[in-house]
């Protein structure tokens, strides 16, 4: 069984609710230093779950953000609370919002809702080693800002003339990285720019979109969970 590192981090605050655990984890972090430099790197080694999973390797990155699907879900289901200030502004990534979500979690995210059920599975899987990859270059961590951490668009930009192709010697190097990180499930058959599976069926692999409709978010999370289960199984056979 995989070690529960998020439990190790939050200690006695750990609960049986994976979304609450994630929010507690965010609130435990000390104030994050400015991006770049030794201080920031040392902060990541002590506080970033992905870096901790890779034993301090600063090239670590989460494959799927938890916060972004959580925020999409909150805005879709509890729109009267989280949509009135405009797209993507609320809830914000601040302790005040985290505490509010924790206190009202069953109201904002009704447990019987199909999307919420899938979201809980995702939050649980996303805290494991299966949700961590090693990037060839740390500059690729900006994919969160550019593409909401969505992997199809990230992978698309690794090939050809894409934004991230400069971090690879060739498209063959991209293919080797995909194999090394056991991410073949993002492709339909061979590994190429043309075979990347889209985020959801109505999109193209080259698309990046902030999802608003519950059905779209649910479809995305179903795919996320399947991918993480496959990577979890792979980790039992060999290191991912």
- For residue 142, the model assigns a pLDDT of 94
The pLDDT score that the predictor gives to residue 134 is 98
Q: Cβ contacts of residue 46 below 8 Å, gap of 6+?
A: none
The per-residue pLDDT for 82 is 78
Tens of pLDDT along 145-194?
999 999 999 999 999 999 999 999 999 999 999 999 999 999 999 999 99
Question: What's the pLDDT score for residue 69?
Answer: 97
Tell which residue, 145, 177, 143, has the closest CA to residue 157: 143
**pTM here?**
0.92
- Whether 132 and 62 have beta carbons less than 8 Å apart is answered as yes
Inter-residue contact 20 to 99 (CB < 8 Å):
no
What pLDDT is recorded for position 43? 79
Lookup result for tokens 């009202």: 104
Distance CA 129, CA 147 (A): 22
Report residue 109 as tokens. Answer: 């995210």
In a 13 Å sphere around the CA of 38, the CA atoms on its Cβ side amount to 0
Of 98, 131, 93, nearest in space to 19 by CA: 98
Percentage of the residues of the chain whose pLDDT score is greater than 70: 90
**Which residues of the chain register pLDDT less than 70?**
1-2, 29-37, 83-89, 235-240
Give dist(CA 164, CA 177) in Å, integer. 13
Do 141 and 135 meet the contact criterion of CB atoms below 8 Å apart?
yes
Share of the chain above pLDDT 90, in %: 80
CA dihedral 81, 93, 5, 47 (to 10 degrees): -170
């Amino acid at each position: 069984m995989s070690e529960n590192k998020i439990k190790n981090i939050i200690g006695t605050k750990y609960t049986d609710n994976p979304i609450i655990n994630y929010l507690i984890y965010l609130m435990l972090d000390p104030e994050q230093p400015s991006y770049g430099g030794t201080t920031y790197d040392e902060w990541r080694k002590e506080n970033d779950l992905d870096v901790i999973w890779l034993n301090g390797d600063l090239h670590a990155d989460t494959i799927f953000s938890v916060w972004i699907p959580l925020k999409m879900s909150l805005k879709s289901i509890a729109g009267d609370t989280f949509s009135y200030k405009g797209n993507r502004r609320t809830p914000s990534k601040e302790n005040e919002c985290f505490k509010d979500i924790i206190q009202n979690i069953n109201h904002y995210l009704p447990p019987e809702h199909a999307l919420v059920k899938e979201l809980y599975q995702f939050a649980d899987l996303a805290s494991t080693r299966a949700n961590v990859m090693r990037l060839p270059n740390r500059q690729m961590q900006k994919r969160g800002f550019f593409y909401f951490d969505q992997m199809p668009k990230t992978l698309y930009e690794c090939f050809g003339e894409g934004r991230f192709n400069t971090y690879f010697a060739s498209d063959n190097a991209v293919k080797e990285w995909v194999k090394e990180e056991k991410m073949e499930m993002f492709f339909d058959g061979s590994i190429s720019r043309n075979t990347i599976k889209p985020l959801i069926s109505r999109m193209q692999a080259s698309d990046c979109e902030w999802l608003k409709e519950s059905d779209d978010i649910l479809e995305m999370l179903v795919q996320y969970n399947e991918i993480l289960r496959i990577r979890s199984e792979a980790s039992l056979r060999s290191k991912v």
